[in-house]
Structure formats: C-alpha cells, structure tokens
Structure 1
Amino acid sequence: MGGSMLHLVQNETIKILRRRRFLVVFLILLILIPIFTYAQYRASLTAQERLGTDDWRALLQQQIVDTQNRLTSSRLPEEWREWLKIRVQQQQYYLEHDINPTAPGGPTFARGFMDQAVSLFLPMMIVVLAVDLVSSEYSEGTIKLLLTRPVRRWKVLTSKLITLILFISLTVLLTLVLAYLISGIVFGYSGWDMPVLTGFQVVGAELDTSQVFMVPQWLYLFMQYGLGWFVCVVVGMITLMVSVVVRSAAAGMGIMMAALISGTILSQMASSWEAAKYLFVVNLQVTDYLAGTLPPIKGMTLPFSLAVLSVWTIAALLVSYLVFIKKDVTT
C-alpha cells in the first residue's frame, strides 16, 4: 500500500509541516490581525471624536458629505469619481433602509478583513505554502528518488495537489477564526444574525438596487469566504505550476509576488485597457461583487471572473501535469 494516495498525501503533509511553511502563515496572521483590529478601533474612535457622537447614522451621513465634497474636485480621476458616486449611492441606500453597514462585532471585522485580503494578502500566504512544493525536491536533492519510485508520476503530483488544497482550506478557515476571535476582544462577538445587503449591481455609472436582498451576516460570510477559498485555490494551482516549471523556490516566489502586486496596480489603472480583464490577477477581488463595488473594468461580472479564474486554473494544471510527467530524471 506504499503507493496508495493516502500514504502519498500523508508524506506531503509531513513535508509541508517540516518546512514550517504553515507555521509561518499562522504567525503572520497572528501578528497582523491584531494590528488591523487596533487600526480599525482607532479609526472608529477618531470618527466619533470628530463628530462628538457614536450614532452610526450621523457617522454615515458625515462620510457621505465628505465623499460628495471630494467629488467636487476637478483633479479627481474619472475612475475614482465613478467609484465614489456608487459608494455614496450605496451608503444612502443603507441610511434610507436604517441598516448599519459597519455595526461593530467580530463577524463584521472578519467580513471587512476578507474584502481587503482576498486579492493580495491571502494569495501571498498561499504562495508561501505552495511555491516550493516541487522545486524544493531539487534543492533537497530528492527529485531523482521521487521520480524513480514505483509510483506513477501523476499520482505523485496529485498527492501534492490534494495536500495543497487541504492546507489552503485550513488557511482560509484559520483566517476567519483568528479574525473573529481577535477582533471580538475589542468589538464583541455578536453580529452573526445582523442583516447585510447584497445584490447591488452597477449599470453604466449608476447603482441598480432592484435586485438587492437581505441576508444574515453568517450567510454572507459563508458566501464571501467561499469565494475567498476559490481565489486561494486558483493562486495555489498557478503557484504549483510555477514550482513545477521553475526549479528555484526563490525565483518562483519572485514571479508570483510580481504577478500579484502588478495585479493590484492593474486593477486600479486598467479601466482603459479592456483586454486586462482576461488576466487572472485582475479577477481576484471577487468579493467586491457581493458588496456591489464598481468592477475594475466595465462589463466584468461575478460569473465572468469565476470563468476566467477557472480557465487559468485548468491551464495551470495541464501545464503542471505535462511538464512533471515528461520531466527528465537526470535534469
């Protein structure tokens, strides 16, 4: 049974734990989430002190006024102007329907954290996990042993793939649990049943609220973290491909970091370059569709982004398997 898939997955799990990659991810989350919690706490205190009230309606009304003042600036880029207009319309909708979009609580912080982390922070954590899954076999000199064992090569790579998906799932779950537990110390642990609005759609430069519906926050978090998990799996598969093709873990890390950071920049600047919507890095911010934020390029929708990410994932897996199966043992 030495060649069974379960045994191979166990071996790969031991390898990842031995390299302490998952421990690094855990420690990064453990250090950064309290910092983000404190930053949000200070921001809410500052806003309350400025207005002399903790009434969320007054705070939201002031945000609307501040944004409308920004919109009067002639130096504001057109993309930002459209984004801010949509934001104001959303805030007014919340105000009219007497729903606090940022009611304090651990679940609300976890929701905001995923919105901020899904396109860069979490993918970078996944890159840390996945970047040397195959390339480390070269640096440790175990590649010959790995490829000459009486186990089919596709099984070896599939075991690495399954192990990676397991650790990606653990990372996303850990993010939710730590964000909730740590921020709850400051903001409280209630808010799972708080109503959250979703279904906002952007038509032209206007907000369409005809499809808006209300869901409890626990269901919104389930949908949001599900999308976050999908994004992390896509990034994991592409990183696995890089790990198969590029023998150096450092080079692989550089390639993936450059791709993710350039994707963040492109998402803010690519509105005039329509072909950029077919790049996987421009489609990572999928949780924005739940919140109804203006997409980076007009015409982008949630099904479109999921389709683009799926195509990239399938292509990455095809390349990974083809290269790994044909790889020359002596190289």
Structure 2
Amino acid sequence: MNLSTPRFSRISGTGSYLPPRRVTNDDLARELAQRGLETSDTWIVERTGIRARHFAAPEVAASDLALQASRAAIEAAGLDAADIDLIIVATSTPDMVFPSTATILQHKLGVHGCPAFDVQAVCSGFVYGLTVADSMIRTGAATKALVVGAEVFSRILDFNDRTTCVLFGDGAGAVVLEGSDEPGLLATELHADGRHVGILCTPGHVAGGQVLGDPLLKMDGPAVFKLAVGVLEDVARSVLAKAGRTDADIDFLIPHQANIRIMQSTARKLKLGADKLIVTVDEHGNTSAASIPLALDGAVRSGRIRRGDTLMLEGVGGGFTWGAVLLDF
C-alpha cells in the first residue's frame, strides 16, 4: 500500500454463530407458566416482533460463540487466523472479570502477540468496536482487524420478569476489517449520555467473593423506546452528512435488533421501504452487541447484500450509548 495516500478500511469477510438451542415464544411461555407468569406468542410478537431466540448451553461462554463466528469471518476474507493483527470483542457478558474475552478468543484462535481487548457499550458495542478498528487501521496501527460482537445474555436475565426475559438471546457475529486504498467505512459517529444509566442496566458486581447488588438485567422499556427512536434518526443523518450522502444512497439499513417497532420507526424517518430494512429480531431476539454483525452476515450469505451496496449500521444500548457507521460494502 502506498503510505502517501489516505488509508481506508473495508469489510473483507463476515461470520456469525447461533447456539443450537432455539427457544420459541411458546417454549418460553411454558417455562414461565411454571413460575406463575403468563405470557404468549401473540403478546410477545405484538410488542417486539420476536418469535424465537437461541440460548447457549451452561458450559458455553461468549468466547466460544465468538470463536465460531470469527473462524467464519476469517475464512470469508480469504485469510488465516495468523494474518489478524488486531482483535476487538464487544460484549456485556464476558467470560471472566478479567482477562478480556478478546484475549481468550485470541488464544482459542491460536493467534499470539497482536493487541486484543474488549469494548463495553452494550448494544452499541459492535458499532463502537468497528469505529475503533477503523481508526487504528487509518493510523497504521493495524492492517487486518477482527471485530466481534458476542453475548450470552441468557445468563443475566430475570426469568421472573416477563417484560425483559422474553426479549434477549445469545449469539455472535464477526467481521474482518482490512486496510484498503478504496473507501469502505465512509463515516462513523459515537455518543453516550450517562444521565440515563438507570434505564437499562445490570447493577451487580463482585466484591469479596460475593455478588453485590442485583446481577440481573433491569430495563425501563418506555424510557428506552423514547430515547432510541430519537437518537437513531439523529445519528444516521449525521453520518450521512459527514459522508456527503443522502437517505436515497442507503441500500440497506441494519439497525440493532432490539424491537421491530423501533427499527421500523427509524426506517420510516429515513424514507426507507421495508425492502431496505434488514430484520433478524424475529428469529434471534435482542442479542445486544452481536445483533448487527449477525444480521449483516445473514444478509450477506443469503445474497441479499452484495459488494458495492451502501449500508447504514446503527446501535443504541445501555449507558446510554448510541452510534452509527455508513459504509460501502
């Protein structure tokens, strides 16, 4: 590569992995009924668009899901694991307090020496990780980055709260981002507002060998919905302006897969038809940091997304965090 010219980054490979256990709404309703809680497929679908999700087996960690997705992405890029010189894992459900899930993944891939670290921005984590990797490639700190979103949210769900436990699932998605002479990632933008920490959180921590606080997910659904629909439109328009593009240039919108109503609202505000909205929330549920790369890989492997398409990726999550990436695939 000619170092006198600007450096860019492009996605050269995608991969994803879902644990084998598929849990339908009816399956979950039966489990909750044993706890004295009432729900139904109709109730869940009407409010969220979710019909099923996948749960990992007890012995399976986030790094195990990440490993499968990473191998698929590396293969799709036509590379070997040894070619990777940066690993970033976005997760809110790490294998351990420390070290990072990224270093555990690095060991499982058989890669040694390159930087590896986690980013924690909850459901915006993959957008954060992609932005960091893009910046490192543009400055010459990396040339072939593996960016992964991996979650085992089933571990932190309160199955006595039907308003949250029906929403989330487990899975992993990954991309390989490579240095390029041609623009791939066109514009990125990240935000956070810590004033809203309490509306979506898991407020427990470890101290003295014990869990202090509540280690299960808590969410104020209406507050999250209200914030999400506003910031997602704003950040999308901001990255379009940075890139000198318009709504009409977007071939596909791949939002964080949290709630079909939020996703459809954002698409409408960007004047995008249903055919331009990538939806996997119905089969995956909300897989937090894994949701965008899972949806991306599925659309690529099905042939729906092709080289040359312009994609808008955007996420919003606890913190409160949000961000977007506009890219030419």
Fold similarity call, TM over 0.5: no
> Higher strand fraction: Structure 1 or Structure 2?
2
TM-score normalised to structure 2 length: 0.29
TM-score normalised to structure 1 length: 0.29
> Higher helix fraction: Structure 1 or Structure 2?
1
